Amino acid sequence: MKLLSKITPAETILIQQGSTAQLKNLLKFTFMDLLLKKVIKIVDVEKQPHPRDGVRVYTYVEAGKNFEKYTAKAHESIFLSSFANEASIQILFKHFVKAAYEASGGKKSYRESIKSSNELRPYFNESFFISLFRFIKLTDDGKKVERAITSYLQEVNLKINDLLENDQQKALELLIAIGGNIFLLQNLNFDLLKKLDKELIKQQKALHTGNDSHGDSWIFYTDFYDDDYLFDHNFGENDSFDSFFYDTMDSFDSEFDASSCSSWDSGCNSGCSSCGGCGGCN
């Protein structure tokens, strides 16, 4: 489906879920998509804060190798602004998530930044009253697109792992065609991606170079599949590529919850003075 190759996971979620889309998920999948495209990266650093303390592992976020050449969409820019003046800085993961949460401006504001994408404008109603109250309402074309996206992702979700095992060329074509929306596939086994034939990836690069059938970001995704070192991340003896992705998403959720519970979110009915009972802030 051509549209999925040109929109980010957050844009897809907004089309599918509208006003029910959680800020946590919109931010999390934007972060993961930028990670996939190597616009940012995460690194673990061992430090001994004090001679009497043991060595601890701290997770940082850095600008990735594609940071300089990547053109960010409005809803992605809050993750990248910290590196604009000094691309070499390291930001502690929990501070990075908190800064993104605060810069989002809350659920309604962040949804508006997602809607501002050129690819999405035909699919959302922008009448005066809807815009005034920041409602999310699909146009007739938007409703058709929502149904098509949901159906297509369900189909890919059902067959992707079998294709990765038995028809890598077809699997790679599908994965490139949906870009960062692979994170919305519930069944995808990320460890199988490491087994993709590098020659097939080269063929896909040659096939799509010079045309815009997959938008501007396709090259960043093929770059990911072609990288033997993945995210330059060191996996432990019992770790896997699959667990790395899901552990990272779990960590994002935890840090988001900690940030939202200590702040005021415009989507909440009351202030969040502590982490107890703050489930409505996401």
Q: What is the pLDDT of residue 269?
A: 37
pLDDT band per the 50, 70, 90 thresholds, residue 54: confident
pLDDT band per the 50, 70, 90 thresholds, residue 271: very low
Mean pLDDT value across the chain: 83
Quote the tokens at residue 157: 């979700």
Q: Which pLDDT tens digit goes with each residue over 68-112?
A: 999 999 999 999 999 988 889 999 999 999 999 999 999 999 999
Q: Which residues pair with 43 in a beta bridge?
A: 60
- Least-confidence region, from 164-168, 201-205, 237-241, 258-262: 237-241
Q: What is the pTM of this model?
A: 0.84
Distances in whole angstroms, Cα of residue 151 to Cα of each of 136, 145, 154, 155, 225: 21, 10, 5, 6, 25
Q: Which pLDDT tens digit goes with each residue over 177-233?
A: 898 999 999 988 888 887 888 888 778 777 766 555 555 676 777 777 766 545 445
Torsion 156-161-162-168 (CA) sign: positive
